[in-house]
Amino acid sequence: MIARPLEGQVAAVTGASRGIGRAIALELALKGAFVAINFRQNEAEAQAALAELCAAGGQGKLFQADVSRADQVDAWFKSLYASNGRVDVLVNNAGVTRDSALMTMTAKDWHTVIDTDLNSAFYCAKAVTRRMCGAKRGLIVNIGSGSAFSPRISQVNYSSAKSGLIGFTRSLARELAPFGVRVNIVAPGFTSTEMSESLSQSVVADSLAKIPMNRWGTAQEIATFISFLASPDARFITGQTLIVDGGRYALEQDYGVN
C-alpha cells in the first residue's frame, strides 16, 4: 500500500500547471492531500495537470489567480476556505524571470519579477497564517533558487527576489513557530523542466561542470523532498534554507567556481 501521510489535509500550490509546481501538486495528492492547483492564465495546462492528478488517484481543484495581485490572492483563498474549510500546506512556487543587464532592464521587468517571485509569497502567506495559527498547525514552503547564492549575470531582479525570500522565510518561521506553524525555503539548483529544454547545449554543458553529481535535478526529486517536509517526520524542521542542487553550492564554497 502507498503511504498517505497527508490524508485529509488541504494543500495549495501556486504556479502548479507545469514544471516543478505540477510535480509538487501531484506528489502531495499521491500522499493523500486535496490539492488546490493555482494557475495564472494557461487553463489548458492546468486542466491537464488536474487530469493527471485525478488519474493517479488524487483529488484536487483548479483555482485561477494571478498571485502577484493581492486582490486575486484574497479571492482565491476565500473560495478555497469556503469549499474546503482549511489549508494545511502552502507551497509558494510561482515564479518568472525577465533576464537583462541592469543598464537595459526596464522598471516593468524589475517589478514583474519582484511581484511574482517575492510579493506573491507575502500575499499567500498572509492569507493562510491566521487560520493556521488558530489551528496550531501548518506548513509554508517557499521555492527559492540557487541564484540567491550563486547569482548569474543579468539576473539582478531574480536574484534579489529569491534572496529576499530567504529573509522572509527565516523571519516568518520565528514569528509562527510558537503556534506550531513551520516555514522553510527549498532552493533547487538546475532542474529539468519544460522551460529548460530550450537551453543551448553549451549552457547545459557549462552548468554540468559546476555540479559535483554531474547532472541536473528532476522536478520529481524536488516534489518528493517537499512531500517529506509536509510529513510528520519533518515536524521539527522550520526556518531552514534547504538547498537541493547536486552539490553545486558546496563546490562553489570550497573552490570559488563562478
- Grid cell listed for 101: 543587464
Catalytic residue among 81, 123, 158, 255: 158
SS (H, E, C) the chain: CCCCCCCCCEEEECCCCCHHHHHHHHHHHHCCCEEEEEECCCHHHHHHHHHHHHHCCCEEEEEECCCCCHHHHHHHHHHHHHHHCCCCEEEECCCCCCCCCCCCCCHHHHHHHHHHHHHHHHHHHHHHHHHHHHHCCEEEEEECCHHHCCCCCCCHHHHHHHHHHHHHHHHHHHHHHHHCEEEEEEEECCEECCHHHHCCHHHHHHHHCCCCCCCCEEHHHHHHHHHHHHCHHHCCCCCCEEEECCCHHHHHHHHCCC
- Grid cell listed for 123: 500575499
> Angle 27-28-34 (CA atoms, 0-180°, nearest 5)?
135
Residue 240 burial (CB count, 10 A): 16
Residue 209 is which amino acid?
A
CA distance 239 to 140: 10
158 noted as active-site residue: yes
List residues with catalytic annotation: 158
